[in-house]
A and B are shown apart, each in its own frame.
Chain A
Amino acid sequence: MPAKTYNLWVTVERATDVRGQWVAHVLDFDAVTQGNTIEHALRMAGEAAAMIAVEDLGTHRDPTDRRAPEEDWERMFAILRTAELISVAEIATREAELACVVCTFELEVHQVPQPGEPKVPVAWSGARRLSDPSMHCA
């Protein structure tokens, strides 16, 4: 069954104007979402990325056409140059001292045959996992 795999870059930063929230940005799809904690924001980012991939592939669009503008990528690489590498397990315990997290995750999207159209699959479903057990934090 055909599948597509995307390796996606994500930044998570404290929200500037919603207290207690973390804002996640999936740069490859230019998707922004938010969560109550860093881990929650990352889960939300995975869900948003999967929704975009499934929707775009299902409507014959390429989700990577949404790619964030260059200034967003430059900002992320600037963060990476000064960031410290930590494990996923450390995130929860060190959240209070963190300003920003950069990580990658892998999104795999599969075609799903539709009822009555076994030879012409048109729907997509997504699954995602962190592809790297470490994260860069600043």
Chain B
Amino acid sequence: MPARLRQIVTAAAVYGVRCEEPSSGSHYKLYAADGKMYPVPAGNGYKTEIDDKYIKKMCRALGLVYEDLKKNL
């Protein structure tokens, strides 16, 4: 099931992930607690609908458990 970017940022924040909006480009940056960055497509800002495949890869990259994150979306 897809989710809006705002929902993903809110759910990931529980695990210490912070979101940064660059001044240019079509991606925001998500940072894990250890400083590792993963770009998130944000063509429509926080309203952007994000495919589930992205959410799974983001969780893998940032060390989150997909099933746990999905419960908070």
Contact = CB atoms under 8 A, between A and B. Distances in A.
Interface stretch (A44-52, A91-99, A129-137): A44-52
B29 A51 contact: yes
A33 B39 contact: yes
Interface residues on A, range: 20 to 34
Interface residues of B, number: 23
A33 B27 contact: yes
Contacts of A33: 27, 39, 41, 54
Contacts of B53: 15-16, 23, 25, 32
A56 B35 CA distance: 10
A17 interface: yes
Nearest to A66: B61
19 contacts: A16-B51, A18-B2, A23-B51, A25-B57, A30-B57, A31-B38, A31-B61, A32-B53, A32-B54, A32-B58, A33-B41, A44-B26, A44-B41, A44-B43, A47-B39, A51-B27, A51-B39, A52-B39, A61-B36
Interface of B: 1-2, 25-27, 29, 35-39, 41, 43, 49-54, 57-58, 60-61
B4 to A, nearest CB: 11
Contacts of A36: 43
